[in-house]
Amino acid sequence: MTTIRLEGLDFFAHHGYYEEERKVGNRYTVDVEVCLSETTFTDDDLDHTINYEEIYLIVSTVMSVSTKLLETLASSICRELLKQFSSITQVNSTVSKHNPPIKGVCKKASVSISQKR
């Protein structure tokens, strides 16, 4: 099995359960991991793997749609990657919201979801 990870994808987006959060926006970080069944890469051909830029564009598209829950974002990222790439056997997605609006100090709140084909 081969694992491809994109870590620390930063976005400014308008997600949140509360209307004010969606209006003001916040900083989010996404880490995504895709697993491929292929393990031998001898021909150095990008067509035989997944282009990292394509993964980023899918994550970026999901992050551009205002959503209330981090769980929904993480699940949508997994679902879209599985839909777009038949070579993916599993996706792990973590979405983090920086400085969430809670009554206390919290650097970030994160949700991780894994989905298999």
Q: What is the pLDDT of residue 47?
A: 80
3-state secondary structure string across 15-79:
CCCCHHHHHHCEEEEEEEEEEECCCCCCCCCHHHCCCHHHHHHHHHHHHCCCCCCHHHHHHHHHH
Reported as a single tens digit per residue, the pLDDT across 3-46 is: 999 999 999 999 999 999 999 999 999 999 999 987 777 788 88
pTM of the model: 0.94
| Residue-wise pLDDT tens digits, 52-103 | 999 999 999 999 999 999 999 999 999 999 999 999 999 999 999 999 999 9
| Cβ–Cβ < 8 Å for 25, 97 | no
Class of domain 2-91 as given by CATH: alpha beta
